[in-house]
Amino acid sequence: MNNFDEKKQNSFQLVIASKNVHKIREYKIILSSLLPNIDILSLIDFPNYIPPKETGKTFEENALIKAEHAAKELNKWTLGDDSGLVVPALKGEPGIFSARYAGENASDKDNRLKLLKNMEALNEKDRSAYFECCIALASPEELKKSCCAYVEGEITYKEIGGNGFGYDPIFKKHDYNKTFAQLEEALKNRVSHRRKAIDKILCAIERAIS
CB 76 within 8 A of CB 123: no
Look at residue 182 and give its three-state secondary structure: helix
- Rounded Cα–Cα distance for residues 147 and 129 (Å): 20
**Mode of pairing for the β-strands spanning 77-86 and 128-138:** antiparallel
CA distances from 11 to 67, 104, 106, 127, 145 (A): 20, 37, 38, 46, 22
- Closest by CA to 131, choosing from 66, 39, 193, is 193
Which residues, 6 or more positions from 210, have their beta carbon under 8 angstroms from its beta carbon?
A: none
Instruction: Return the C-alpha torsion angle 90, 62, 145, 187, nearest 10.
Output: -50
Which residues, 6 or more positions from 3, have their beta carbon under 8 angstroms from its beta carbon?
A: none
Which residues, 6 or more positions from 71, have their beta carbon under 8 angstroms from its beta carbon?
A: 15, 77, 78, 138, 139, 140
From 82, 110, 168, 199, active-site residue: 82
Tell me whether residue 82 is one of the annotated catalytic residues: yes
Residue positions annotated with a catalytic role: 82
